[in-house]
Every structure is written in C-alpha cells, then in structure tokens.
C-alpha cells in the first residue's frame, strides 16, 4: 500500500488536518479509517461511497457508519458488520433494519450487548420463532 509514500499512521490520525487532495487519496484514507473510523467524516464524498472503505470503517468503529453515504449506510452487509461488532449499533441503523428479525437476533447475540439495546423498541413478535 503506497510503498512510495512513507508516513506514520499515528501521525496521520485525523484527516481534518489535511488538504482535500490527501482526503481524496483512497489508499491513505483507507489506512487512516482502519485506525480511526470517525475520520471518515473528513474523507472525500466519493470515498464515503466506497464499499471497502466503509466496511473497514464499521469494523473499526460501528458508530462511524453514520458518516458513510446514504446508500452504504443502508447496505445490509455493512449494517450486519456493524451490528456483529457491537449490537448497540442498532440505534444508528436505518429503521427498516430495526424491524428485521435476523438483524435483531444478531444484535442481541453479541455478548454483553443485550442490556445496552434492551430499551430500543423491539417487537416481541419479531423475536418469536
């Protein structure tokens, strides 16, 4: 990955400090968001719609899903990756996923998360077999 550019990922931890040109460099943005998913907010618009980048973001920090494009924020695979990492991500996914039995069962199966999402409105009918 960008062998010709030497940089310390700890120094490049916040895309807000850099020019739009850097924030449009896919390889740099991918490296940064895998360390700090919230930095996606500063990435170029087209990179917020890049499936690989957004998947890396939600695997690093499920709350950063909110910075992805509208289309990818509603992508089932990406939502499931966020929910699998942390069931509490159910709070920030589009409403249609909160009524999806598979999504709900995945969210509550994540260890130590049921108490965190218990107050979220979950239909008991959806949880019945």
Kindly report whether the global pTM for this prediction surpasses the value 0.75: no
Instruction: Give residue-wise pLDDT tens across range 28-68.
Output: 889 888 888 888 988 889 999 999 999 999 988 888 899 99
Residue 90 and residue 94: Cα distance in Å, rounded? 8
What own/partner pairs with CB < 8 Å and gap ≥ 24 does 53-57 have? 53/26, 53/29, 54/78, 55/81, 56/30, 57/33
Residue 50 and residue 26: Cα distance in Å, rounded? 9
Residue 119 pLDDT grade (very low, low, confident, very high; cuts 50, 70, 90): very low
Residue 113 has pLDDT above 70, yes or no: no
């Amino acid at each position: 990955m960008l062998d010709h550019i030497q940089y310390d990922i700890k120094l490049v931890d916040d895309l807000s400090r850099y020019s739009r040109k850097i924030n449009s460099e896919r390889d740099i943005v991918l490296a940064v968001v895998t360390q700090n998913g919230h930095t996606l907010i500063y990435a170029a618009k087209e990179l917020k719609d890049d499936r690989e980048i957004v998947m890396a973001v939600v695997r690093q920090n499920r709350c950063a899903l909110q910075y992805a494009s509208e289309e990818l924020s509603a992508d089932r695979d990406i939502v499931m990756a966020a929910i699998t990492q942390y069931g509490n991500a159910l709070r920030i996914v589009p409403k249609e996923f909160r009524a999806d039995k598979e999504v709900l069962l995945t969210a509550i199966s994540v260890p130590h998360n049921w108490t965190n999402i218990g107050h979220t409105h979950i239909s008991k009918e959806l949880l019945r077999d």
